[in-house]
Amino acid sequence: MAEVKDVTVEARSAGTWAVRVTRQDESRSKDAAVIVRSERKPSLPDPVHVRLAGARAWLALAKDRVAEKEWGAAIELARKGLVELGQEYARPQVDDDTELKALAAEDQIKQGRLENAARMLAGALSTRIVCYVDLHNDTVVEVSPPVQD
Amino acid sequence: MRTPPDQNLPLLRLPRWASRSGRESRPPAPPASGPPSGPAGPAPTPARTFTLAPQLKQGLQTAWGNSLPGGNALEQGGILVQKADHTYEWRAGVGTSGGSFAANYGDLKTGETLVATAHTHPYSAAEGGYTDVAFSGGDLANMALASRPEDSKFVQSGNTVFMVEKTQAFKDYVAAKGENVAHTAMINTWNTTFAAATGTFTERVEAAAKAVCKEYHLEYYRGSGDTLTQVDVSK
């Protein structure tokens, strides 16, 4: 689970809730939210799909570091996102090769190609988030910020 | 004995026990005991070689050709179906990601038989440009799931085509253990073997894939073009 866990649940339109989290990287932080469809208010401290929101926040932080060419930091942040999202994220009909991509990224690290590795791990996390949203499309209405951002 | 592409009965392969020439026919090997943690399975037999149906070969090559658009990795794939008239047809799916592919089972129509699924393993130059990347742990483990009814699965990575096929011993093991236990065990075998393996990334991936096939008695093939040869997974 994430090192930092700042979670809130807010009512939205009828039958939907915003599960919002904050994840922190040194002095900066990122918020992410998942709009959840549920008859009952998701209960704290572990509301449904909180790990999706957490992973999305880590991805935002990782992408910031990629943009700043802080490859080592980006690698660590993407890894945190992969850990928080967990292993149950894809439909069985999906041939999920993100683990291969993550292992290839580790190989790139050994070769000193940190930029490649940072982008690959962020890409693997992004793919897994998309898979997770698809797996739970009956209860996940929206992710914010969108994964494409 | 190559089947013309326009013939109505193109075989995915020659009979399992036949050589490519069809002159060395022999029956399948009798079953033997497997390791304690895995299913019982057939004893090692001489490598088998077979020819891909032309529709599948073309489908795989087209999928690979579309797997690095603009230099970025995008997994592609599809399904091979046998239609009611016994002809085969490749149906391409839609790639959405560089790291996963969702089999397009919805393209199977009533009265048709799903023969195989296939997808690609592309790595862009910015991802190391790897080719010859065999099956992931997930690729193999999800063959234990009832929601993955295909008996054969293909991966194309560069010029190399990999195939894995379920055996009766594999199906018996899954039935005995349950699909979730089998799935987890296969993932663990893949991960453990990859971690312990030496060599390049692609060599370690193939070592892991072979270990899973050996342990759980999936048949494993590799080749290029339209010719695949069974791999001795004991080595």
Residue of B143, B131, B162 whose CA lies nearest to B60: B162
The strand pairing partners of B64, in sequence order, are none
CATH code for position B54: 3.40.140
B98–A94 CB contact, under 8 Å: no
Domain count, chain A: 1
Residue B137 lies in domain: 50-166+219-230
Which residue, among B98, B103, B119, has the nearest Cα to B161 in the 3D structure?
A: B119
Q: How many residues comprise chain A?
A: 149
Give residue A26's region: left, alpha or beta (phi > 0; psi -120 to 50): left
A149 is a domain residue:
no
- pLDDT score of B19: 39
Question: Which token pair is A122?
Answer: 């962020």
Looking at residue B162, its pLDDT comes to: 98
3-state SS record for B3-68: CCCCCCCCCCCCCCCCCCCCCCCCCCCCEECCCCCCCCEECCCCCCEEECCHHHHHHHHHHHHCCC
pTM for the model stands at 0.87
Residues of chain A short of pLDDT 70, as ranges, are 1-5, 149
Q: Kindly give the parts of chain B with pLDDT less than 50.
A: 1-11, 14-38, 40
Amino acid at B1: M
In a domain, A1, yes or no: no
CA-nearest of B124, B61, B78, B116 to B98 is: B124
* B136–A96 CB contact, under 8 Å: yes
Q: Which residues of A touch B179 (CB under 8 A)?
A: none
To test the contact with chain B by mutation, choose from A71, A82, A88, A97 the residue with the greatest count of B C-beta atoms within 10 A, namely A97
Which of B85, B56, B78 lies closest to A95 in space, CA to CA?
Answer: B78
Flag whether the ipTM exceeds 0.95. Answer: no
How far does B178 lie from chain A, in Å, by closest CA?
Answer: 15
Best CA proximity match to A57, nearest among A89, A80, A27, A87: A80
Count the neighbouring beta carbons within 10 Å of the beta carbon of residue A109.
Answer: 18
Does residue B176 sit within a domain? no
Structure confidence by residue, pLDDT tens digits, B154-190: 999 999 999 999 999 999 999 999 999 999 999 999 9
CA A42 to each of CA A7, A46, B210: distance values in angstroms, whole numbers, following the listed order: 11, 8, 44
Residues 110-139 of A with CB under 8 A from B: 111, 113, 115-116, 119-120, 123-124, 127, 130-131
Q: For residue A104, which residues of chain B lie inside 8 Å, CB to CB?
A: 123, 127-128, 130, 133, 201
Residue A27 domain flag: yes
Assess if residue A113 is contained within a domain: yes
A147 CB neighbours in chain B (<8 A) are: none
Say yes or no: A97 contacts chain B, CB-CB below 8 A.
yes
For residues B101 and A95, the answer to whether their CB atoms sit within 8 Å is yes
Shortest CA gap A31–chain B (Å): 25
The nearest alpha carbon in chain A to B134 belongs to A100
What pLDDT score does A94 carry? 95
The contacts of residue A68 (CB under 8 Å, 6+ apart) are: none
Residue B137 is assigned to a structural domain of this protein: yes
Q: In this structure, is residue B184 part of a structural domain?
A: no
Is A99 within the bounds of a domain? yes
> Closest-CA residue in chain A for B208?
A100
Instruction: Answer yes or no: do A94 and B101 touch at CB < 8 A.
Output: yes
Do the chains contact at A101 and B98, CB–CB below 8 Å? yes
Please give the tally of structural domains in chain B: 1
**Is the residue at B148 inside a domain?**
yes
Q: Which domain holds residue A35?
A: 6-144
Q: How far is the C-alpha of B72 from the C-alpha of B129, rounded, in Å? A: 10
